[in-house]
Structure 1
Amino acid sequence: SGRTAEIAAPLAAHQDVNAIDLAGADDVLAKELEIAAADNLKRVVRPQAVDYSRTPGIERLTAFLETKTVWHTTG
């Protein structure tokens, strides 16, 4: 928790952070964070305007999910 401008830059550049949501960042800060996040191919979500009158979906959540298939041999 904290102010976006204070904590977002270190998070965007950190090698152990895999994704960042740019909610709360203005256009200038968002562009800087996208550039910093590109150094380690971090997932970046820049959310659109939110319509609070509709039921929230899971689109922003699924942007950060990664599914892997692991095959196990049998026998």
Structure 2
Amino acid sequence: MRIHGLSPQLVVKGLGLVSRVLPSGSTEANAGEPQEGRDVKNPKTSLPLKVLTFLGDRASKKNQEHPSR
């Protein structure tokens, strides 16, 4: 909120970049059906998702909370 107060245009551009990295919410195959984050696989967004979730995945493996798939 503070950064947005100082430079709203910078925040809007940054959030626009983040929205490009995130996978789309629905496709024709799964329209309206909720999906778990670990099930979202898209070749276009696979690398950014791995980068964004690296620390959480590492912690879940360390705590033996990672689902066996």
TM-score past 0.5 threshold: no
More helix by share: 2
Greater relative contact order (CA < 8 Å, ≥ 6 in sequence): 1
Q: Please, what TM-score do these two structures have when normalized by structure 1?
A: 0.27
